[in-house]
Amino acid sequence: MSTSGQAQMLIEIQKLQFAAVELNLFLDTHPNDQQALALYNQVHHELKQHVEKYEQIYGPLLNYGYSRAIQNTWNWVENPWPWEIKY
């Protein structure tokens, strides 16, 4: 299985999630910033869509009940693992 399609989708998710992390930290010290709040929810929405598309093809990004297991195998344990992905 080629990792380049997977890597590409992951890069898009990484960009969105990084924006979410940044906004999260900013909101921790600026909890009433309405602009940041609105932007955070926008990012959340887009991130969710990207994650759903990714998971349909490559399996769960989260475990412990947060992502749905797909197909008929527990591919959470399958390769590649995050440090093995070639970007």
Q: What does the alpha-carbon distance between residue 87 and residue 70 come to, in Å, rounded to a whole number?
A: 25
Name which of residues 31 to 50 contact other proteins (CB under 8 A). Answer: 31
- Smaller CB distance to other proteins: residue 21 or 38? 21
Region of 24 please: left (phi>0), alpha (psi -120 to 50) or beta.
Answer: alpha
Applying CB under 8 A, among 1, 34, 72, 87 the residue interacting with other proteins is 87
- Smaller CB distance to other proteins: residue 30 or 53? 30
Q: Rounded to the nearest whole angstrom, what is the least distance from the CB of residue 10 to other proteins in the complex?
A: 6
Q: What does the alpha-carbon distance between residue 57 and residue 42 come to, in Å, rounded to a whole number?
A: 24
The count of residues interacting with other proteins (CB under 8 A) is 29
Residue type, 78: E
- Residue 27's contacts (CB-CB under 8 Å, 6 or more residues apart) are 33, 36, 37, 40
Which positions lie near other proteins, rule CB under 8 A?
7, 10-11, 13-14, 17-18, 21-22, 24-26, 28-31, 60-64, 66, 76, 81-83, 85-87
